[in-house]
Structure 1
Amino acid sequence: MSTTPIADLALVSDRHSAGLISRDGSVEWLCFPRFDGPSVFARLLDDEAGHWAIRPAVPYETTRRYLPQTMVLETTFRTRSGTVVLTDAMLTGPDDGGHRLGAGVPHLLVRRVSGVGGEVPMEIDYRPRPEYGLIHPILSVVDGGVTARGGAEWLVLTTPVALTVGDCTGHGVFTVREGETRHFGMHRSTLQETPARVWGQAELAARLDDTIIAWQSWSSLHQAYDGPWRDLVHHSGRVLQALSFQPSGAIVAAATTSLPEWAGGERNWDYRYTWVRDASLTMYALWVAACPDEASDFFAFLTTAAPSLGKDRALQIMFGVRGEHDLSERTLPHLRGWRGSRPVRVGNDAWNQQQIDVYGELLDAAMRLEHQISDIDDDVRRFLLVCADTAAERWTEKDRGIWEIRGEPQHFLYSKLMCWVALDRGIALAGLLRAQERVESWRKTCAEIRETLLREGWNDRVGAFTQAFGSDELDASALMVPITGFLPAGDPRVLSTIDAIADRLTDDHGLVYRYRTAGGIDGLAGEEGAFLLCSFWLAQALAMSGQVGRAREAFERAAAHANDVGLLSEEVDSRSGELLGNFPQAFSHIGLINAAWAIDEAERSARAGAGHGNGNGRMA
């Protein structure tokens, strides 16, 4: 059973796949050749599912950071006898053709060990376990490395240190002295491809340096935000970039599967896919944190992945990173799960749910990114048109809502709200979409949705907009009422909803729950932690309503739960403060970016004497 704290993990990515590395220099999770591929290392979910550790063989203290403007991890080990630095990256440097960040990568994890003072005895423990730990490969020593063969994988470890191989494990010891540097690398190919090879030391060094330069170049060219919490916002932008699949433009919700929303519970899902909602939100978070070069790629990806909008013109809510539709869920009973949290799942049956909010998120992203997609082709234009039309047709239907509740469908407030957003943004984009003849019809339906939301969504008994029509349950997604511009942030109903959520839907530390899980209203047993995205939503809504002091306090409470290298999980254990859920979570970093931007806008407006909020009623 794995017990590694989620906060001990750091992300490396080549924008094809991702690895997670612990504070003690162990690769605890790595999938090849893409985010949702079978793992090579999965000790994060079971002690026997594989890892690769490089660390001192004597007691040590650890500090970590990402190299400036990069997603290249640097871990410093200090011992009594000396200090050594471990630098980890998945290669994503530019190839000879000068392509974008993430192009031309060879699916190779590089690890540089550098002595910076004294001397340090080191050890290597290498245990590849492909296919989520099912495969115990045959290891063989070759000149300059170790091969691993088993299942569909061909792995080659480049190592300047001789390893002793036995029982599907490689182990070695060596000493690093001041001024010495050694490079290790693990390269992957399939049996059908040209076999992976041992890399030279100079070759690995050069490619690692290229990767550092590529990240720094991207950050310098694309990150211009200069408001409060600038470093956090820029770093979150890089995290979102690291969670994007470069070949298609897809963006995954997180790098992991089955990290639980409550230790020992059953809310363990596979987040290594691209949700239309999450990816759309990522697009306009990147509008704040970075220039969203990928906007046209993202819309092209969705146009390709969902050309017919599925059965009954319903847009599927999520896809594989290359546009796959069938993401059928299965369990891996041989894995014991993080801290015994079973089941461990791969795939996600939410792909087959109806969620009518997605049309609004898509069109809102298109509105925010109008200048980036001004030259969209006719296919993308027709796709967005059909999204608006489908929102107009389906807004009266029940669905499973933003939180993908596995209970009975309901008339969720958020879903109806986002159908209103779809039409509101569609009207604003009518020129780009060449849809002027639809505007009158869309405006009529938009008004009908608005009237229904104000009548059925507001609950006088609760003093707030609630989770679903006729419900007394609070839901943090009601904070989107002002954020989307449906009502002004200073409207009395909005202010009352903000206060109700702040008072009655928060833990003892002021972090916000999505909703109360008591009674299994979502079709699942057990509890969950406070949700970081919702906590940032509260900060954003407070800023828009002119309550900047409270907004800053709410932001700081949520942002304080970033780990030592600035990464956020999905949730926080309300009792211990420990991170929970899949990691790192795009939603949480999106929330951080948007809340910081809203607070910056509110403060700028206050200084200019021009009122409160961002003034444009659009999500950011």
Structure 2
Amino acid sequence: MEQQPAISDYGFLSDSRSGALVGRDGSIDWWCPHRFDGASVFGRLLDPSAGHFRLAPVGVGGPGYRVERAYQPDSLVLRTVHHTPHGSVAVTDALAAEIGARAHDLGMNSPAVLIRVVEGLTGRVRMALDFVPRPEYGLLTPYLHDQPGGGVLARAGPVTLVLRAAGLPLRAGRDRVTHEFEVSAGQVVGVDVAFGAAYGAPPARLDPLFALAETTRAWEAFRKPHRYPGRYPELVRHSATVLTGLTYARSGAITAALTTSLPEQIGGDRNYDYRYSWLRDFAMTVRALWVAACPTEASRLFDWVARSIGRIGDDPVPVLFGLDGERDLTEHDFTQLGGFAGSRPARIGNDAWRQRQLDVPGEVMSAVWRLRDHLGGTFDGELGEMVLGLTEQVASTWHLPDRGMWEARDGERHYLSSKVLCWLTMDRAVRLADRLDERADPDRWARIRDEIRDEVLRQGWNERIGAFTGAFGSVELDASALFLPVVHFLPATDPRMRSTIEVVERELGTDDGLVRRWSADPAGFVLCSFWLVECLALAGERRRAEELFDRVVGHANDVGLFSEQIDLSTGEQLGNTPQALSHIGLINAAWRLTEPYSF
């Protein structure tokens, strides 16, 4: 049985419609071509029988074999160089952009074509192609048919795929296509897999070499006008590119991660579907886009949020939506999949959409405040209704328990971070009142704001521990307390906050710069680690903040990607990947080290 590749072994491809993961061994083990949260056609990531597409030298991993890989600048076009005893060969992988796409057109009309270009560098290398499509997360085995003029058609259920490779005599097997060929120095072979719906337009026909060049130019043109003036520019630009790759271009929504069910602990059951867009991440995301991208991207994301929320009633605003704004994301265990490294269950959908999370309005209101000068001097129509609705909902519900930002499934509590975000909602509403209509009630809102603040300071602080804890009356530390200075609830120099930072760093931190969410959490949480960087910078400890930043970014994989968490014993990445929040945390921490008090 083949060994499960590590999460950090994967590189990320995107056309801002869907994404794919390609391993160091040359295997595409995840691709949901319809859109990010659609069904996979290659799903080996979660089960060996769920399909893959390997294109690599024969004898991958044998003696004398090594791999180097890197993204083309400012893109998600990945070039992998395989060094073998017989020579070297490069495979460049990408998801094709629309021909002629430039700037903000990237991803609007992606053709759903996977491109793989093989280039001989030295010597003569024997390559192996193994195409094993398994649509619907491996539930379907397609019929394969040779095509006139070359190529193989795979068809099953709602999916049509066409595999083409000019100059290679590909032949359909019973349920897969296998082929070996040799590549000499200077020789180039283009391969592509095009996706189409069973009853829609046929899959696009592209020349792989031309499409690869166009895709590279599209990425370069998209990133070219983005100017980041701060520290760590290469890291920040790359993380911004990853966020672009996680953006569903048709709506502007940013998916939290490309994958579902990658475990927080190998063999554990905290395996969730992250292929949706979280409102709880909204303000942090807008801040990162504002710093590292441009107002257009932040504004498109804001427009998607406003439309997705709709008219606000008595029900809590959901914490997450589908990429077109869908609300019902009912979760189910997908028992047909064995799970990553046997970590079960694999899940499709995410029931967190049903939870009450009182922090959500605060995230939206924080983003409204940040974009206020771009939203107009008067908030009327749907924008005004949204701001008023969020404010009044918090005014009437802030005293209730909820599930908290970590989406606890064992019951509701009075979580510290949720109350702080309720305070933020009321504070921003007071500041924005002059842009609202006559229904604005800033005096009442200010009284509620101050009441919430008093409750947080009284019930959130634990004198014996010397820190703000995760929930009112709790003795459990929680790294979410680091969020207080980030949202300007308390300055990092406040004695209580300074003590909290020290206690969290001592009790939840590790020697290599990682911070766990709580004491029983078995892994370091990348976002919390960057929050600690921000806190240290705000407390005036710039050198320590810089040293910590350097240690945290050292946990990225060889092509600069972060998943959600890092295993404390092995250093391996854990959780869904690439994780938007981790890259958002990097951008915001880098800017904090540039301009500590700028946001």
* Cα drift, residue 85 of structure 1: 1.2
* Cα drift, residue 466 of structure 1: 0.6
Identity value in percent:
45
Alignment of 1:389 onto 2:392: yes
Could you tell me how far apart the structure 1 residues matched to 2:270 and 2:499 are? 31
RMSD of the TM alignment (CA)?
A: 1.8
Alignment of 1:174 onto 2:181: yes
The one-letter code matched in structure 2 to 1:575 is S
Could you tell me how far apart the structure 2 residues matched to 1:426 and 1:72 are? 43
Aligned to 1:213: 217
* Cα drift, residue 93 of structure 1: 4.1
Alignment of 1:103 onto 2:97: no
Within 5 Å, give how 1:376-415 maps onto structure 2. 378-415=381-418
Which range moves more in the overlay, 386-395 or 15-24?
Answer: 386-395
Aligned to 2:84: 79
Which range moves more in the overlay, 341-350 or 169-178?
Answer: 169-178
Shift in CA distance, 251/433, structure 1 to aligned 2, threshold 3 Å: farther
1:541 paired residue among 535, 540, 557: 535
The one-letter code matched in structure 1 to 2:44 is R
Within 5 Å, give how 1:441-456 maps onto structure 2. 441-456=444-459
Normalised TM-score (structure 2): 0.95
Alignment of 1:162 onto 2:156: no
Could you tell me how far apart the structure 1 residues matched to 2:352 and 2:41 are? 26
Within 5 Å, give how 1:356-371 maps onto structure 2. 356-371=358-373
* Cα drift, residue 516 of structure 1: 2.4
Structure 2: runs of 5+ lacking an equivalent? none
Could you tell me how far apart the structure 2 residues matched to 1:294 and 1:430 are? 26
Which range moves more in the overlay, 441-450 or 382-391?
Answer: 382-391
* Cα drift, residue 112 of structure 1: 1.1
* Cα drift, residue 508 of structure 1: 4.7
Aligned to 1:90: 95
Aligned to 2:192: 185
Aligned to 1:225: 228
* Cα drift, residue 468 of structure 1: 0.5
Within 5 Å, give how 1:134-149 maps onto structure 2. 134-142=139-147, 143-149=149-155
Within 5 Å, give how 1:269-418 maps onto structure 2. 269-309=272-312, 312-374=314-376, 378-418=381-421
Could you tell me how far apart the structure 1 residues matched to 2:446 and 2:209 are? 59
* Cα drift, residue 557 of structure 1: 2.0
Structure 1: runs of 5+ lacking an equivalent? 518-526, 602-612
Q: What whole-Å deviation, never above 9, does each CA across 1:509-541 have from its counterpart, x for those lacking one?
A: 341111123xxxxxxxxx531101001101110
Aligned to 1:578: 572
Which range moves more in the overlay, 375-384 or 269-278?
Answer: 375-384
Could you tell me whether the CA contact under 8 Å between 2:524 and 2:568 is conserved in 1? Answer: yes
The one-letter code matched in structure 1 to 2:554 is A
The one-letter code matched in structure 2 to 1:208 is L
Could you tell me whether the CA contact under 8 Å between 1:19 and 1:30 is conserved in 2? Answer: yes
Q: What whole-Å deviation, never above 9, does each CA across 1:393-434 have from its counterpart, x for those lacking one?
A: 211111000000001100000000001111222233334445
The one-letter code matched in structure 2 to 1:163 is L
Could you tell me whether the CA contact under 8 Å between 1:286 and 1:292 is conserved in 2? Answer: yes
Normalised TM-score (structure 1): 0.92
2:69 paired residue among 64, 72, 82: 64
Could you tell me how far apart the structure 2 residues matched to 1:149 and 1:294 are? 37
Could you tell me whether the CA contact under 8 Å between 1:259 and 1:581 is conserved in 2? Answer: yes
* Cα drift, residue 377 of structure 1: 6.7
SS across alignment from 2:189:
strand
Count, aligned residues: 591
SS across alignment from 2:559:
coil
The one-letter code matched in structure 2 to 1:561 is H
SS across alignment from 1:41:
coil
The one-letter code matched in structure 2 to 1:207 is A
Aligned to 1:521: none
* Cα drift, residue 92 of structure 1: 2.1
Alignment of 1:20 onto 2:27: no
The one-letter code matched in structure 2 to 1:501 is V
Could you tell me how far apart the structure 2 residues matched to 1:247 and 1:537 are? 31
Aligned to 2:133: 128
SS across alignment from 1:221:
coil
The one-letter code matched in structure 1 to 2:154 is A
Could you tell me whether the CA contact under 8 Å between 1:337 and 1:343 is conserved in 2? Answer: yes
* Cα drift, residue 187 of structure 1: 1.1
